[in-house]
Amino acid sequence: MSVKRKGNSTVTIFPDWCKGCGICAAFCPAKVMELNDQGKAVVIREEECINCGFCELHCPDFAIMVRPKVDDEIPAVCRAVLEKAARRTDRPAASGGAAEKTGSGKKKE
């Protein structure tokens, strides 16, 4: 949190938990997030993130996690949420949602 420089942090969005209220996209000073056609937040310009922490503090659904890039370890409880989302995308039913979920799944790596 101490160093507020561009490009030092990773933004992860849990797609299953996001309700698409748009607070993160509207108030982000660097315009990192955007709402996609399904109304959910997606990360579009991660390299612009200055780690101000606004989205993380103001997300009512605890669906955004901002971490330093060097810290690769995702804590166990958070990983469980992401894995659950990944398992759902494996199911054949979701067609439009699958593309979006795998899209944000990539960003955590």
Partner 1 sequence: MVDMKGTQLIHEYLRHNKKFPHVFCAGCGHGIVLGSLIRAIHGLGLSKDEVCVVAGIGCSGRLAAYVDFNTVHTTHGRALTFATGIKMAKPGMHVIVVMGDGDSMAIGGNHLIHAARRNIGVTALILNNNIYGMTGGQCSPTTPSGSFSMTTPMGQMEQSFDCVELCSAAKANYVARGTVFHVKKLDQMIMDGISNPGFGVVEILTPCHTQYGRKNKYRTPVDMYKMLKKDVIDIERYNKLSEAEKAKKTPSGVFVQKDEPGLEEKFYEMAANCQGGA
Applying CB under 8 A, the span of 2-10, 16-24, 92-100, 101-109 interacting with partner 1 comes to 16-24
- Binding residues with partner 1: total (CB under 8 A): 29
| Closest C-alpha among 2, 13, 6 to residue 62 | 13
Per-residue burial over 74-95, b if 16 or more Cβ lie within 10 Å, else e, is beeeeeebbeebeeebeeeeee
Nearer Cβ to partner 1, position 3 or 92?
A: 3
Least gap, CB of 34 to partner 1 (angstroms): 13
Q: For residues 28-67, which are near partner 1 according to CB under 8 A?
A: 53, 56-67
We find the least distance from the C-beta atom of residue 25 to partner 1, in angstroms, to be 8
Determine, following the binding rule CB under 8 A, whether residue 1 of this chain makes contact with partner 1: yes
Collapsed DSSP state (helix, strand, coil) of residue 100:
helix
Candidates 40, 49, 44; CA nearest to 5 is: 49
Nearer to partner 1, 80 or 94 (CB): 80
Least distance in angstroms from the C-beta of 24 to partner 1: 10
- CA atoms of 37 and 56, how far apart (whole Å): 22
